[in-house]
A and B are shown apart, each in its own frame.
Chain A
């Protein structure tokens, strides 16, 4: 048994086009390290400054890990992990966007 990780289209360049890969770990953080070992470069797309990126959603058995402990969320064999990029955007000059801070500098 292992943990199934479902990969979104935009990240399948790291998995040779595979829609799902198997990995392992006791926490999402460990899982991400193991993913990185097999699919170099994927970690940087998922994690920033020790947290899941603002516009990436990671679910363990349908629960968004933002509400279950973030990268420290426990995972175990048989779990399914889904990665989905946020569908988001907005008007020019919108203050709520991720680059509001950039513009303010």
Chain B
């Protein structure tokens, strides 16, 4: 199960709306082992494509260095599909390289670029090519 705070979920959806019709992507980092997505880091889609996303390689290095410095890991890795459902594609599965992460897919296909319309927000584990959807629980804030 993914537990995520409302402000972070809303920020991810806002990012997906903003970049529509291109795919938006980013991570939410959290303390190693906490399973708590705390620090939203929107990334630039270097592919600038409606059907593909990729973090810029320099941005990727800086992201991982920052997380290392803060004892964080990528708790959530998200991207949007802008014309198809919020389900991992074969490409997504083949390239998934963080078995501990929650892979969040957002779909803006149903007019989702407009504020107030429905946006699908779903979460998956992707381990060894196996996709398992999981429940998403939205909380106002994390228990301390």
Contact = CB atoms under 8 A, between A and B. Distances in A.
Instruction: Please determine whether chains A and B interact with each other in the same assembly.
Output: yes
Interface of A: 8-10, 55, 57, 59, 62, 64, 66, 82, 84-99
Given A9-B99, A59-B61, A88-B53, 16 more contacts: A57-B57, A57-B60, A84-B64, A85-B97, A86-B95, A88-B91, A89-B91, A90-B23, A90-B52, A90-B79, A94-B52, A94-B89, A94-B91, A95-B51, A98-B91, A99-B90
Interface residues of B, number: 36
A55 B95 contact: yes
Contacts of A62: 61
Contacts of B91: 88-90, 92, 94, 97-99
A21 B6 CA distance: 40
Interface in B117-142: none
A38 B47 CA distance: 36
A86 B89 contact: no
- CB-CB nearest 6 A-B residue pairs: A94-B51, A90-B52, A89-B92, A85-B97, A88-B54, A96-B52
A98 to B, nearest CB: 7
Interface of B: 23, 25, 27, 43, 47, 49-55, 57-58, 60-61, 64, 73, 77, 79, 81-84, 88-92, 94-100
Contacts of B43: 87
B99 A92 contact: no
Contact of B89 (A10, A57, A89, A95): A89
B57 A96 contact: no
A97 B52 contact: yes
Nearest to A66: B57
A91 B47 contact: no
8 contacts: A86-B95, A87-B55, A90-B89, A90-B92, A91-B23, A91-B50, A92-B89, A99-B94
